């Protein structure tokens, strides 16, 4: 990356470079502080109160009570464990399908560009709208999925044991292409001569895959995994639209209900902070691995 000298010749004409730099950067930083950091400070204050945004009732400072109650609430922990289960199922599914497709595509396939573009489409769509049309596809009596798989009137969304997997399946459909794209980029960067050397050594395909392909693709695959983990952790739209099972109540839905249906504003701000800390923890892992890839 190149940097210009702020005291260059041009500084004598028109605005100085430092003025231009500040003019270009500071408004954006301020805007983001006002609309991201300020609301978070605002809600940190509310998280120590029993404020309810619905009524005109007085509110009191309750200290750490919200946090204490939330952390001792088994229902909240079950929301977290549902979220964890959802994240694992959907991310593992996306890696298997996405990486598998990338392995298939990493050959002399005709119309590779067109196929890659077509596979981009699901991830460009609105999760809410995708959720809606998968509801139609999953319908037990006239859905195309049951018909195509010969499942009769199998219940996908109203069966509590199945619903979370149904949501994850839709997420896998939407986001496997993302894992595929990153894997494809990683696979195409593996030097060809390594494979040639392996062929001369008469290495088997399994050996080639585990000793050459996988280690070299692993860093970029890791990035795809962390990206998708963070996104799956935030899931709201898809699960909220597709089904309203207690077994699919991921933490974002719990948070939404607490804040905008039960109007426990103070308490929901505290829960938001607990979620925030978890996201920061995941983000740290992400940055750690991002740096690892950069060092490579």
Q: Considering the complex, what minimum distance in angstroms separates the CB of residue 92 from other proteins?
A: 18
Choose which of 50, 59, 209, 237 interacts with other proteins (CB under 8 A).
237
Choose which of 58, 108, 161, 201 interacts with other proteins (CB under 8 A).
108
The smaller minimum CB distance to other proteins, of residues 72 and 294, is found at 294
Residues 117-146 that bind other proteins (CB under 8 A): 117-129, 131-137, 139, 141-142, 144
239 binds other proteins (CB under 8 A): no
Residues 156-185 that bind other proteins (CB under 8 A): 173, 176-178, 181-182, 185
281 binds other proteins (CB under 8 A): no
The smaller minimum CB distance to other proteins, of residues 8 and 60, is found at 8
In contact, 236 and 213? CB cutoff 8 Å: no
Q: Considering the complex, what minimum distance in angstroms separates the CB of residue 268 from other proteins?
A: 6
Task: State whether the Cα torsion 213-217-218-222 is positive or negative.
Answer: negative
233 binds other proteins (CB under 8 A): yes
Cα 119 from Cα 263, distance rounded (Å):
41
3-class state of residue 211 by DSSP: helix
Picking from 244, 260, 266, 239, the residue whose alpha carbon sits closest to that of residue 64 is: 266
The smaller minimum CB distance to other proteins, of residues 22 and 60, is found at 22
Radius of gyration in angstroms for the set of CA atoms belonging to the chain, rounded to a whole number = 25
Stretch binding other proteins (CB under 8 A), from 68-76, 160-168, 209-217, 255-263: 255-263
DSSP H helices in the chain: 17-32, 38-46, 65-71, 74-105, 112-124, 127-138, 144-149, 160-188, 192-200, 205-208, 214-234, 237-242, 251-260, 265-295
In contact, 287 and 263? CB cutoff 8 Å: no
* 74 Cβ contact list (under 8 Å, min separation 6): none
57 binds other proteins (CB under 8 A): no
93 binds other proteins (CB under 8 A): no
88 binds other proteins (CB under 8 A): no
């Amino acid at each position: 990356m190149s940097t210009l000298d702020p005291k260059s010749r041009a500084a004598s004409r028109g605005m100085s470079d430092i003025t231009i730099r500040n003019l270009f950067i500071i408004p954006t930083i301020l805007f983001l502080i006002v609309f991201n950091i300020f609301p978070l400070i605002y809600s940190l204050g509310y998280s120590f109160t029993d404020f309810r945004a619905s009524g005109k009732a007085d509110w009191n400072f309750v200290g750490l009570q919200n946090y204490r109650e939330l952390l001792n609430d088994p229902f909240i922990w079950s929301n977290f464990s549902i979220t964890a289960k959802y994240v694992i199922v959907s991310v593992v599914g996306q890696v298997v399908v996405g990486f598998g497709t990338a392995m298939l595509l990493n050959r002399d396939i005709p119309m590779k560009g067109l196929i890659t573009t077509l596979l981009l489409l699901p991830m460009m769509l609105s999760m809410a709208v995708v959720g809606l049309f998968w509801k139609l596809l999953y319908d037990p009596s006239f859905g195309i999925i049951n018909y195509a798989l010969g499942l009769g009137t199998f219940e996908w969304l109203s069966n509590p044991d199945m619903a979370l997997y149904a949501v994850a399946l839709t997420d896998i459909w939407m986001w496997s292409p993302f894992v595929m794209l990153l894997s494809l980029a990683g696979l195409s960067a593996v030097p060809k001569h390594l494979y040639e050397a392996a062929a001369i050594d008469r290495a088997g395909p399994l050996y080639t895959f585990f000793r050459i392909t996988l280690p070299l693709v692993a860093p970029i695959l890791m990035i795809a995994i962390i990206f998708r983990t963070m996104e799956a952790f935030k899931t709201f739209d898809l699960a909220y639209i597709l089904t309203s099972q207690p077994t699919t109540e991921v933490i974002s839905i719990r948070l939404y209900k607490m804040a905008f249906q039960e109007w426990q504003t103070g308490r929901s701000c505290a829960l938001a902070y607990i979620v925030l800390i978890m996201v920061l923890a995941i983000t740290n892992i992400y940055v750690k691995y991002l740096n690892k890839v950069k060092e490579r």
